[in-house]
Amino acid sequence: MKRLKPFTYFEPASISEAIEILAERGNEAYALAGGTDLLVRMKRGEIRPSALVNIKGIRDLDQIRNEPGRGTHVGPLVTIAGIGNDLRLCSSHPVITEAARVLGSPSIRTMATLGGNIGRASPASDMAPALIVLGARVAIGGTAGKREQSVEDIFSGPGTLRIQAGELISSFFLPEIAPRSGAAYLKIGRREGMDCALVGVAVQITLGEKEKEAIDGRIALASVGPVPLRAARAEKVLFSGPLTEDRIKEVARVASDEADPIDDMRASAWYRREMVRVLSSRALQKALARAEGGKEG
């Protein structure tokens, strides 16, 4: 198998140290988190870093911390397995644990991190749609200081973030979810086990006083555009009346229309659009049932 080419190796003890090294070396240096994407790209010859900055030695980047009344902070080095197995998150923000549990395989999940997954900015990311429907925000640290923005806005293209060389994701924030909310993440692949999303759909809704009427809701799609896509037009249909079978179908149809997939070796654009329609409908039905069932999120 392909052997990794040599690189200069750093193990910074703090974020500021990491940022300094990354800023100094620019595009030649990469931050190493779980390595499940980075090492693959290096072995395939897609990138040739002259330096790797291993950020796993930095303290406190792997914590999950709840701020009562506001939400939950998730460190970028929290592993996907860590998220999937976290009982608190399972209760407070179930869509993120649902997405984490269908990512990759058990061994990949042990190593992969939330920061690494979002940092990779793949349009097929399972975690991105979940974070988007949660209204998640991300804190980024750099030489110019800290800044914050919504996860939804951080993707600029396939594999690229609105982030400078020398900046590092330092934390994620998941706002607390209102009562009578329900969410679901569904994905479809070519097989049951260990698959990248051919299409992924995350839905979160919050019901109001009137039966089946959503007062809040978001829909996000994976693998049907250059970046994880927020289906804003479909969301509008969500709020246009009670979520009857017909309205659900309409939401799904608009989401399918809104999707912007390409033909590639894995699937055609036509099939992806069809799957957006089918999965949006199914995910919305699930989210509705969970919201009605009284469970949080």
Partner 1 sequence: MTIAIDIKVNGEQYRVELEPQTTLLELLRDSLRLTGTKEGCGLGECGACVVLVQGRPVNSCLMLAADANGCDVVTIEGLTMNGALHPLQQSFVDEGAIQCGFCTPAMVLSAKALLDRNPEPVEEEIKEALSGVLCRCGSYNKIIRAVQSAAERTRQSV
Partner 2 sequence: MKTGHVGRSVPRLDALDKVTGSALYGFDIELPGMFYGATLRSPCSHAKIIHVDISEAIKAPGVRAVITGKDFPFTFGGSIKDQPFLAIDKVRYIGEPVAAVAAETEAEAQDAVERIRVTYEDLPAVFDPREAAGEDAPLLHPDLGEYTRFGPYDVVPGTNICTIRRYKHGNVEKGFSDADEVFEDEFSAHSVSHSTIETHCAAARYEPVSGEFTIWSSNDRPHRAIRELANAVGIPINHIRLIVPYVGGSFGGKSTLVAEAIAIALARFTKGRPVKATFSREEELTATQSRVAAWMKIKTGVTKSGVLTARKAEVFWDNGAYASYAPGVALRGGLTVFGPYRIPNLELDSRLVYTNKMIAGAYRGYGTTQVTWACESQMDMIAHKLGLDPLEFRLGNGYVENDRYINGQVLRDVGLKETLEKASREIGWGSGRKRISASRFRGKGIATTIKGTVTPTESFCIIRLNNDASITLLMSSAEIGGGQKTVLAQIAADTIGVPIESISVQNPDTFVTPYDHAVASSRTTYHMGNAVRSASQQLREKILQVAATLLGLDCNRLSLAEGKVFEEGKGERMHLDALMSKRFGGKGGEILAEGYYTSAGSPLLAAYSGLEGMSSIFWMYGTHAAEVEVDVETGVVKVLKIAAAHDLGRAINPMTCEQQIEGAVVMGLSNTLFEEFILAGGRVLNDTLSDYKLATARDVPDIVPIIVETRHTEGPFGAKGLGEPAAAATAPAIANAIYEAVGVRIKDLPITPEKLLAALKRKKVAN
Part of the chain binding partner 1 (CB under 8 A), chosen from 104-112, 137-145, 251-259, 278-286: 104-112
From the list partner 1, partner 2, none, pick the one residue 47 interacts with, judged by a Cβ distance below 5 to 8 Å according to partner type: none
> Is residue 148 within 8 Å of 156, Cβ to Cβ?
no
From the list partner 2, partner 1, none, pick the one residue 179 interacts with, judged by a Cβ distance below 5 to 8 Å according to partner type: none
Check residue 5 for interaction with partner 2 (CB under 8 A): yes
From the list partner 1, partner 2, none, pick the one residue 232 interacts with, judged by a Cβ distance below 5 to 8 Å according to partner type: none
Among 44, 68, 209, 294, binds partner 1 (CB under 8 A): 44
Part of the chain binding partner 2 (CB under 8 A), chosen from 77-85, 212-220, 231-239, 274-282: 274-282
Among 67, 147, 268, 289, binds partner 2 (CB under 8 A): 268
The site for partner 1, by CB under 8 A, has a size of 31
From the list partner 2, partner 1, none, pick the one residue 196 interacts with, judged by a Cβ distance below 5 to 8 Å according to partner type: partner 2
Q: Between residues 54 and 143, which has the closer beta carbon with respect to partner 1?
A: 54
Minimum separation from the CB atom of position 83 to partner 1 (A): 14
Among 196, 286, 295, 296, binds partner 2 (CB under 8 A): 196
